[in-house]
Amino acid sequence: MNEKKLSRKAVGFAAALVAAMLAAGTAFAQMGPGGEAGPRGQAILRALRAGLAQVDLSDQQKADIKALFESKKPAFQALREKTQADRAALKAASEAPTPDPAAVGKAFLKVKADGQAAKAQFEATRDELKALLTPEQWTKLQGFLSGLRHRRGGPGL
């Protein structure tokens, strides 16, 4: 009897973890700079484009920034596809008639790792973008994005 209660608690806990990770992991999975970015990625791109328009970029900087984002598209898209597949596997494992807590946990850890990889990839791209701007331009861009976050609670770098 106690084993059944423990098993039900484990399955319930796993299901709660799945729900939380699906909600939180979506944001990371959709942050690619490509044209196929999800809603959060598109919002970040719009904010970034608006911010970059405010910092008086030279023609060379514009070309370098465009090349940077083009070079990152395949990696972001591959990570997005991996994250979507891992999330689907997690959902399937958690919705099985008798979910195996170990399988659900393993799938959850894959989705969590995907989120961490997406965050690291995003931060590396941000650092490369920062290297293309002057310190004054970067400060101005950060100020613009900070203002957006403050007014709308929106995305930022």
Residue 148 is predicted with a pLDDT of: 79
Using alpha carbons, list the distances in angstroms from residue 97 to 16, 20, 59, 93.
16, 20, 58, 9
pLDDT tens profile 88-124: 999 999 999 999 999 999 999 999 999 999 999 989 9
Mean pLDDT of the chain: 77
Q: How does residue 32 score in pLDDT terms, banded at 50, 70 and 90?
A: very low
Per-residue pLDDT of 45-93, as tens digits, reads 788 888 888 888 999 999 999 999 899 989 989 998 999 999 999 999 9
**Interacting residues of 92 by C-beta distance below 8 A, sequence separation 6+:** none
Give pTM, 2 decimals: 0.66
- Sequence ranges of the domains in the chain: 2-152
Structure-token pair, residue 153: 């609670």
